[in-house]
Structure 1
Amino acid sequence: MLNMKSKGKMITVALLLALPLSTATGTIQSLTLGQTAVAATSSTTATTSKLTDSLKGGYTVAATKLDVPWSIQFSGNTVYITQRGGGIVQIKNGKQTVQKVQTKKPLRVVGEAGLTGFVLDPKFTTNKMAYIYHAYEKNGEGFNRIVKVKLVGNVWKEQSKLVEGIPGGRIHEGGRLAFGPDGMLYSTAGETNRRELSQDLKSLGGKILRMTSTGKIPKDNPIKNSYVYAYGLRNSQGIAWTSDGKLYASDHGPSGAPIPGGGTDRTGLDEMNLIKPGSNYGWPKIMGNETAPNMVSPLYVASSKAIAPSGIATTPDDTILVATLAGKSLKEFDPVSKKMTDILTDVGRVRDVAVYNGKIYVITNNTAGGTPEKNDDRLLILK
């Protein structure tokens, strides 16, 4: 597997988008972006060749100086990226603009909490609607909410709320949003370091949630009158579907931190899971390769050295790309062989990954918890 470790191969030249970018070395050439995006899902029929096999080394730089970027979305020749401290970066016709986001409840930015998940409405080109996951405060306590926003001019304005009262805190916020092949909106929600929430079906923390685009509970959800689609998760930040409709999710394993009430967690044991409706993935009752009745063990478990998986995306050949924070790399996970392989290294922390028009895009996350270089954080396109 290709391993891009040589900084001499890191080429900051022609963009593969219509995104010319002014840099200290000149203006990046403007090329044409495709018309079909696959960020969290893939409905493309699997092919015999692997997308990652075509990579020749290095990457191009599509955007720089992003401030704690979190989620990538595409529309035509335009890229949108959320920033955890607020604002959505629009990259269009070579111009990088931070657009304001106006919500009816002020954005709470504390630790890992802020503006995180983001997905465009399937009809965005005509209705300019999107969905965001953001932290807020009520009576001194942190929460998260999912709301529909509309791009009006250069401002994203809240139109309606879908869900409020999702547990919040300083860490383990979850927050990934994606539309599934069934047309439903899915969201990850962390347990905010309150591990008991993961097994509590009355709480939305430590779960994968499923809802309609208006925030209603689907009649076919596995738990009656509940948004909960799967539970027993710790801090899932990535969800994606393969072409056969299977849902996969990344999940952060224990972090070696003190356990509320006494004791200390193990470290590592990050997971990749095959998500089935109504299933219990065990946290905190089981972790790693442990088993228990009526609990599902992961497809893949990392070692005791954490990789901290965040966003994931499927390729047309149905492998899964995994952005890792502590792992400081983009990895490829084969759900059949259950092997994890490095694809891109030496760019620092990687928060999100997307597949768009046959190209692989990642955003780095060195401005939060890393060691940022001069132009961090960046949107990169693998070559």
Structure 2
Amino acid sequence: MRLLHSSGTPLHVSYCTNVHPAEDLDGIIAQFDAYAVPIRDRLGADVLGLGLWLAAPVAAALAADPALRARLRGELTARGLEVVTVNGFPYRSFQDPVVKHAVYHPDWTTRERLTYTLDLARVLADLLPDDAARGSVSTLPLAWRDPWDAAMAGQAARRLDELAAGLADVESATGRVVRVAFEPEPGCVVETTEQAIAHLADADHDRLGVCVDLAHLACAWEKPADALGALRDAGLPVVKVQLSAALETAEPEALREYVEPRFLHQTRTPAGEAADDLDEALDRRLPGPWRVHYHVPLHVSPSAPLAATTPLLREALAELAGGPEPLCDHFDVETYTWGVLPAALRPQTPGQLADGIADELDFVRAELRHLGVEA
């Protein structure tokens, strides 16, 4: 969806397709018909934005073949769909039965990660609507924290220099600006806003910035105003925002039905105690309250004694879009965990999943309207 900020700046609101398993072009196009078109229809939107996820093999194929890129753009346009942002965090196999730590590989010390990200930038440059100001690619926060040493940090810094140069080449060749956004996440080298500022201090801030994932921000127990103010003061742009909500509770035993084998669910307390997964936190009996990296649907509240960090999402939206100028123009709903929710909450059919995602987008649209943004 496109919404209009009171300043006249278009705000692009999309949903992230990493919730779907397709990793080849035909499968990706099929998911447009199964999910994206019904979502657009349910919202009554002329155009629906997708935060497109492309696994590394299909990204490479598209980057190498202008005809394939033209086909993909044509398929999007024919269905009233558009892409201004791409999720480049998962490399491939994101909906496999077990993902866990594999999602952090390859990391930013490797050429594979650099190649994948530049492939995505080349593809996105050709998918961008003609009137879009720029595109964005979100990516992992350098690496999982262990192992990490000075040599790896130096290698990653060199990759980021190569990335900025490659993005400049994309702009020179296509006339389109694509920026890359590093996404702080619990357990990674870059977990907090402060760490993002430190690790990206010497990066090219015209092309590289931060993806603020609001569930991750909540799990770090950061306040949106403080985090966004620190980024502004450091001159580090908010390239993209991932609209997400984490689980929160003062009674951790109520979380047992959320333990599942596919994704990591990092758990944090306000005192800084941490576990890398929910089952570990339960076994260690960390003192509550907890916030858990488990993206839950934005538009519904879990049953007590559980809650979602939706109040923090509202605070963040007020900071991001409630002022005289927006701090970001790319907003992507990223609830990739629909398929691992407790059975009673899990969609059973494609239509039910489409309904749930549409409800999330409608929730976001209503929240932004409350801030004076026009639909």
Do the two structures share a fold, i.e. TM-score over 0.5?
Answer: no
Please state which structure has a larger fraction of its residues in helix: 2
Higher relative contact order (CA 8 A, sep 6+): 2
TM-score (normalised: structure 1): 0.31
Please state which structure has a larger fraction of its residues in strand: 1
